[in-house]
Amino acid sequence: SSSFFLCSFLFSPSSFFSRYQSTMPRRLVGKKRAAASASPASPAMPSRPTDTTAPAAPVAPPYASLVASLSSSLLPQNYTFELIRTIQRIERQLEGIELTVFRVGLQAPEGLLGYMPAIGEIIVAALGTVTAVQVSIVILGDVTYGACCIDDVSAGLLGVHFLVHYGHSCLVPSTVLTPSPTADSSSPLRGVQYVFVEIDIDVGHAVDSLAKLLGSPTDLLPLLRDAHGHPVAAHDMASCPVTLYIVCTIQFAAAAAAVRTALTAALAAGADAARAAGLPDVRVASPQAKPLSPGEILGCTAPVLADTLPTADAPRTTGGIIVYLGDGRFHLESIMLANPHLTAIRYDPYDKRLTQEEYGHSESRTIRRGAIEAARSAKVVGIILGGLGRQGNPAIVGNLRRLLDSTGIRHFTLVLSEVFPAKLAAFSEGEEKVDAFVQVACPRLSIDWGHFFTIPLLNTFEAFVAFDPAHAAAYPEPDQLTKSVPMDYYAKVGGPWANYHPTNKGRSLRTAA
């Protein structure tokens, strides 16, 4: 069976919309964002007459009311799918086109995939009011873990002209995904759009929950750690300033910014009372691992909060508290790995609960160090290029090949869309058995699931630790909480194992020779 399905829709309200009107879940009921206030007008120059004419309001497209009506009945109202912007971009692609059929591809993670048929029908219905070109919708159904899985290759093979990827930020630039007008390419893909799908939440409840926690000495004290990860004594609490680092996935970026603003104001208003109660000063920050947005983290990319680490001038400064706004733990664990000395709490906007989260750093590091040591004695290494969309970076494969060549280790390259223990176990038998694998796909696969594999399965950072003398001591000791496991795989300052390193950011197949 195919890993995608093709939907070529014609606008038919009675046949489609009635089927989907009440089937999609309304997972989260939040408060709508306040409209952005207009910026004040600049004062007129004295020598020129003042123009009092109000600027013309943007002209709504002819399908705006249709899109609004269908969206209100088919889609959750606190999810921002940016349908008007998407349709307008497709309109521009259709200008001067000589095709009779224009294919639009839709790709989304599992949590949003169920909305794609409705979104496709809305797009077709809206474009049907402004163009005679038949618009066909292709929904890519392969599993999508992140923006690294954006599948422009499959979309091109399916004849897609415009691809919309939902639920993630722009990890792989569109300039890489779409062929240059002068390039010798048979791909029909003309454009790519990322839609973050921002979600409105009850910001007031989140702020109240955090303010209540910060206002209780009994609740706050167990969360405080100094720069070495040691608990802060009760008599030291008032003299230890605290930084609250609010992080989130891209869906909650706007909500996290609103929480930061409102919480900062609430803390300022109650600062005198807090000091009188023996509470520490608290500031709120949105850390950033560029090129991600402020506060945004990925499962493989998170900032190191260096200002919370010990220095010669401040050997025992207080660390901060990580506040993750979102559901699940996968993304939160990324910043916990990058900052093992800090405490982490999670506010789940779906069930509106605030919980403290723990991570077994010592156990995880012991397991991964064992895999690295085992791989160092390997005679044959398999390099896995992830084939799930753009998850694998061919340039990193090239660097690993050259690294293994320099050590005299035999190696081969294997392309896999998903990596399973049973698949790799087939290479563990016979005289030419593989002694270790390095996967250029998802670094968390090795960290989270590596112990289920019978053959050592390293991620790219671990491979450089195992095989490159320059990085042999880079992996932290099990209890060394002031040194982190790198989570810089899509950071601008990532190491040679990361995607934006100067040797890797081109993602060129030619560099992987």
Q: Which of 38-42, 395-399, 480-484 has the lowest mean pLDDT?
A: 38-42
pLDDT at position 4, please? Answer: 37
Which residues touch 358 (CB under 8 Å, ≥6 apart)? 344
Determine the average pLDDT of the residues in 69-95: 97
What one-character DSSP code corresponds to residue 59?
A: P
**60: pLDDT strictly greater than 80:** yes
**Is 157 in the same domain as 299?**
no
Give Dmax over CA atoms of the chain in angstroms.
89
Q: What is the dihedral of CA 148, 154, 156, 162, to 10 degrees?
A: -60
116 part of a folded domain: yes
Digit-coded pLDDT (tens) for 150-178: 999 999 999 999 999 999 999 888 777 87
pLDDT at position 141, please? Answer: 93
**208: pLDDT strictly greater than 70:** yes
**Is 441 in the same domain as 314?**
no
Task: Give the helix ranges, DSSP H, for 44-114.
Answer: 64-74, 83-94, 110-113
**Which CB contacts under 8 angstroms, 24+ apart, belong to 488-494?**
488/289, 488/301, 489/298, 489/300, 489/301, 489/443, 489/460, 490/148, 490/171, 490/289, 490/291, 490/292, 490/298, 490/300, 490/301, 491/289, 491/290, 491/291, 491/292, 491/301, 491/303, 492/290, 492/291, 493/290
Q: What are phi and psi of 371, to 5 degrees?
A: -65, -40
Gap between the Cα atoms of 256 and 363, Å rounded: 32
389: left (phi over 0), alpha (psi -120 to 50) or beta: left
Digit-coded pLDDT (tens) for 429-447: 877 899 999 999 999 999 9
Gap between the Cα atoms of 428 and 408, Å rounded: 20
**Helix, strand, coil percentages for the chain (3-state, nearest 5):** 35, 15, 45
429 part of a folded domain: yes
**64: pLDDT strictly greater than 70:** yes
Digit-coded pLDDT (tens) for 444-488: 999 999 999 999 999 999 999 999 999 999 999 999 988 999 999
Side chain identity at residue 137, one-letter code: I
- Distance from CA of residue 393 to its chain's centroid? 17
**Is 281 in the same domain as 376?**
no
**Is 413 in the same domain as 425?**
yes
Query: pLDDT: is 41 or 289 the higher one?
Result: 289
**Is 137 in the same domain as 238?**
no
Reported as type and span, the H/E element at residue 254 is helix 253-269
pLDDT at position 311, please? Answer: 61
**138: pLDDT strictly greater than 90:** yes
CATH number (domain holding residue 434): 3.40.50.11860
Digit-coded pLDDT (tens) for 223-281: 988 777 788 888 888 888 899 999 999 999 999 999 999 999 999 999 999 999 989 89
Gap between the Cα atoms of 166 and 82, Å rounded: 10
What one-character DSSP code corresponds to residue 49?
A: -
For 117, the token pair is 């048929």
pLDDT at position 173, please? Answer: 81
Gap between the Cα atoms of 142 and 151, Å rounded: 9
pLDDT at position 463, please? Answer: 99
Side chain identity at residue 86, one-letter code: T
Mean predicted lDDT score pLDDT of the chain: 87
Q: What's the structural domain count of the chain?
A: 3
**Is 237 in the same domain as 324?**
yes
DSSP string, 409-427: -EEEEEEESS--HHHHHTT
pLDDT at position 334, please? Answer: 98
Determine the average pLDDT of the residues in 484-504: 95
44 part of a folded domain: no
End of a domain among 166, 197, 228? 197
**45: pLDDT strictly greater than 80:** no
215 part of a folded domain: yes
- 314, 336 in Cβ contact below 8 A? no
pLDDT at position 178, please? Answer: 72
CATH number (domain holding residue 282): 3.40.50.11850
428 part of a folded domain: yes
241 part of a folded domain: yes
**491: pLDDT strictly greater than 60:** yes
CATH number (domain holding residue 139): 3.40.50.11840
Gap between the Cα atoms of 250 and 317, Å rounded: 31
**Is 263 in the same domain as 406?**
no
- 211, 274 in Cβ contact below 8 A? no
**9: pLDDT strictly greater than 50:** no
**Is 325 in the same domain as 366?**
no
Supply the range of the domain harboring residue 218: 203-357
**Is 209 in the same domain as 343?**
yes
**Is 20 in the same domain as 166?**
yes
Side chain identity at residue 157, one-letter code: L
pLDDT at position 54, please? Answer: 66
Q: Are strands 4-7 and 134-140 parallel, antiparallel or unpaired?
A: antiparallel
pLDDT at position 445, please? Answer: 98
Cis bond before residue 291 (omega within 30° of 0): yes
**310: pLDDT strictly greater than 70:** no
**Is 135 in the same domain as 171?**
yes
Q: 308 - beta bridge partners?
A: none
pLDDT at position 512, please? Answer: 47
What one-character DSSP code corresponds to residue 352?
A: T
Residue percentage of the chain with pLDDT more than 90: 72
Gap between the Cα atoms of 455 and 433, Å rounded: 10
Burial of 25 (0-12, 13-18, 19+ CB in 10 A): exposed
DSSP string, 367-394: HHHHHHHHHHT-SEEEEEEE-STT-S-H
Neighbour count for residue 296 (Cβ, 10 Å) = 25
End of a domain among 317, 338, 357? 357
497 part of a folded domain: yes
User: pTM for the whole thing?
Assistant: 0.85
**29: pLDDT strictly greater than 70:** no
End of a domain among 320, 336, 357? 357
Q: Which of 67-81, 227-241, 354-368 has the lowest mean pLDDT?
A: 227-241
pLDDT at position 12, please? Answer: 36
**Is 136 in the same domain as 185?**
yes
231 part of a folded domain: yes
